[in-house]
Amino acid sequence: MSQKKIYLDYNATTPLESEVITTITEALTDAWGNPSSSHNTGKTAKGIIDQARSDVASLIGTKSSDVVFTSGGTEADNMIIMTVVKHFNKEKMKNVTEKNVDQSLTGYINTESSKKRHHLGEHGCKIGSCDTDEEKYELPHIISSRMEHPAVNVFLEHLKDTAQAVVTYASLSPLTGRLEVENVLHEIKPNTILVTVMLANNETGIIQPVKEICDAVRNIKRGNGETKKIFVHTDAAQALGKVPVDVATLGVDYLTVVGHKYYGPRIGAVYAKDLENRETPLYPFFFGGGQERNFRPGTENTGMIAGLGKASEIAFKNIVKFETDMSKCRDYLEEKLVEAFGKRVHFNGKFAQSERLPNTCNVSILGNNCEGHKVLAKCKVLQASVGAACHAQNKPSAILLAVGVPEDIARHALRLSVGRYTTIEDIDLVVEDLKQAVQMLADEA
């Protein structure tokens, strides 16, 4: 008989709730029509999509018209970032056109000014050959950090490599594990168009000061030649379904929703503030039949959208219970680890000044031959990871290094993330499993 496996990698992905499976199955069976069709079969599918949109909106505290469905978090992040780049370029062209018109109207007031204005730019050098600050700021500037998901930072690197944007990675605080407000403000430039910061980190579980960053950015007075507005985006993948999330409280312009992180299907959604009234721009990545109000063309995936709606409804109704249960289980896990390994235990995401997700424990068990990937290889019961699923599992986490964790400690890290239904008994079995794994490695050393 095979030994029971205990999964503690819920920050990587989650299983579907049984109600979500039922909802998806019913939608695929009964609502298979094209949502754009005008007959009853199409209207049934459209009604299910509308309800799902409402449920996602309720989860994040907004109205349905602010939600656009996507294939997943990567598409959502890319779409938001590309939008602000396009918006910057549109505003720049608009300003250039207005300036040219203004120069044409005022450039010939008298002979002297005519000569001067016809040949000189705003900074007193010949137009087309000026090396001023204004020219240095022709590309959009985006502020991120080294803790962001590759869906954000790999795309930013692409924009940087193709000369479509300038990117700054603001420093993380080794005292809090967070992207602090002052570190963001320090990087603001005249051409800054976006600050993107995840709501909670996938490896440490540390909740980022997104509201405080939004408040600080909103208070910046922008001058002539500077971007009129700096947008703020947060990828809420790890926070949704674990802690309450409200976009009005956060004050963000954009938010990314990822279904498979909270017991839903592997699709996602974009939140854009007051999208209906165009307060926040959103440009499509794809072009086609005009679905999702032209923001995301392509025949809608009714079954998965229905599942995302149901997962959102369940999370919204039960968030307090889920948060309490997971916190209790995670705290018990950390207590038992200290009991089992004593001073060899080093918690990598626990900072006195910072809040954490209720389910996440990033821990290093120190000692010779106890690197994280080796420990997991010897485990017979535990299924977990040393960090984000999309990162190499035999290297120290770049995120831990970025928040000041020494490399030798980071190499020993394990990311243990409990789920909604993880039990105290499960934790006891996991700790015993870790003990035997560490002992086996000690014997081999």
Residues 6+ apart with CB under 8 A from 197: 144, 145, 148, 179, 184, 208, 210, 213, 232, 233, 234
Report the alpha-carbon distance of residue 380 to residue 382 in Å, rounded. 6
- Which tokens in the block code for residue 407? 């490399």
Quick one: 355 exposed, middle or buried, by C-beta within 10 A (0-12, 13-18, 19+)?
A: middle
* List 130, 329, 370, 390, catalytic entry: 390
Checking 155-158 for CB contacts under 8 A at 24+ apart, the result is: 155/77, 155/78, 155/81, 156/81
Task: Identify which of 346, 383, 377, 384 has the alpha carbon closest to the alpha carbon of residue 444.
Answer: 377
Q: Which amino acid is at 331?
A: D
Beta bridge partner(s), residue 271: 67, 255
Q: Is-catalytic flag, 390?
A: yes
Residue that the structure tokens 């449920």 belong to: 55
> How many CB atoms are located within 10 Å of the residue 385 CB?
21
Residues annotated as catalytic are 390
